[in-house]
């Protein structure tokens, strides 16, 4: 691949459905490809395909929107090294950038202006062995860690990991129920019972548009 291009599945303008920026109009850049295969993945269409776009073309598309918020997602965005060029150029233009990553790939070279939203894989995802634990120490206070919870086992495991790495003292921690697999109210009640220092979230975009691509 040319050093000035990225493989892109879609670029779209929508409402941010997750993270502490939930509800904000945002431009999403979904890059193609992912080395993981989580059992609950809702973007399998981004594993393959896509089209090669020049980074300058991607930035021009972002500029065509009035939003200052940009979310780079996938797939796994860091699987394409050229994503760093994109992030650096967007940062120079003063966009508020978030990067959604599995945490499998080293985040040490991510531009410091980019908010990292790192998804720590739980046992039920079937990709727990892909967690790169060294990445946790690289997170900034404004970054976020997300646990996607399938069941009670995932929840208890996540609590242990939070405590072991003291994640809630380093950055924001999010917990989400897997859509159509776990009752959101149940997870909310567990969090309340344990007075867990996390932010409960459900995927707002799925409530609004279900699993419609480009939303």
Gap between the Cα atoms of 64 and 98, Å rounded: 19
pTM of this structure: 0.94
Query: Is residue 124 domain-resident?
Result: yes
Number of domains in the chain: 1
Domain that holds residue 41: 5-209
Summarize pLDDT for 57-72 with one digit per residue, the tens. Answer: 999 999 999 899 999 9
Q: Is 199 a member of any domain?
A: yes
Q: Report if residue 215 sits inside a domain.
A: no
Residue 185: which H helix or E strand, with range?
Answer: helix 184-193
Q: Are 144 and 19 in contact (CB under 8 A)?
A: yes
DSSP code of residue 104: -
Residue 113 lies in a domain: yes
- CATH number of the domain encompassing residue 198: 3.20.20.70
Rounded to 5 degrees, φ, ψ at 110 are -70, 135
Angle at 78 between CA 129 and CA 115, to 5 degrees: 100
In a domain, 214, yes or no: no
- Note the pLDDT tens digit of each residue in 4-50: 999 999 999 999 999 999 999 999 999 999 999 999 998 999 999 99
- How confident is the model at residue 189, as a pLDDT? 98
In 3-state terms, what secondary structure has residue 65? coil
Q: Could you give the CA distance from residue 115 to residue 209 in angstroms, rounded to a whole number?
A: 25
Of 92, 37, 39, 36, the residue nearest 62 (C-alpha): 92
Distance CA 43, CA 12 (A): 14
> What integer is the mean pLDDT of 86-110?
97
């Amino acid at each position: 691949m040319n050093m000035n291009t990225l493989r892109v599945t879609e670029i779209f303008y929508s409402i941010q459905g997750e993270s502490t920026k939930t509800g904000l109009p945002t431009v999403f850049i979904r890059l193609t490809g992912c080395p993981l295969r989580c059992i609950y993945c809702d973007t399998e269409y981004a594993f393959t395909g896509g089209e090669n776009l020049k980074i300058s073309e991607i930035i021009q598309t972002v500029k065509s929107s009035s939003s200052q918020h940009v979310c780079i997602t996938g797939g796994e965005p860091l699987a394409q090294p050229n994503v760093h060029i994109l992030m650096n150029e967007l940062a120079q233009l003063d966009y508020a950038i978030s990067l959604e990553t599995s945490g499998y790939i080293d985040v040490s070279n991510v531009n410091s202006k980019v908010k990292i939203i790192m998804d720590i894989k739980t046992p039920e995802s079937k990709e727990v062995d892909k967690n790169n634990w060294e990445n946790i120490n690289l997170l900034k206070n404004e970054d976020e860690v997300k646990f996607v919870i399938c069941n009670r086992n995932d929840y208890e495991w996540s609590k242990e990991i939070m405590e072991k790495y003291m994640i809630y003292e380093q950055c924001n921690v999010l917990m989400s129920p897997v859509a159509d697999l776990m009752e959101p109210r149940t997870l909310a009640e567990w969090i309340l019972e344990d007075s867990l220092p996390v932010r409960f979230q459900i995927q707002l975009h799925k409530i609004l548009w279900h699993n419609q691509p480009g939303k």
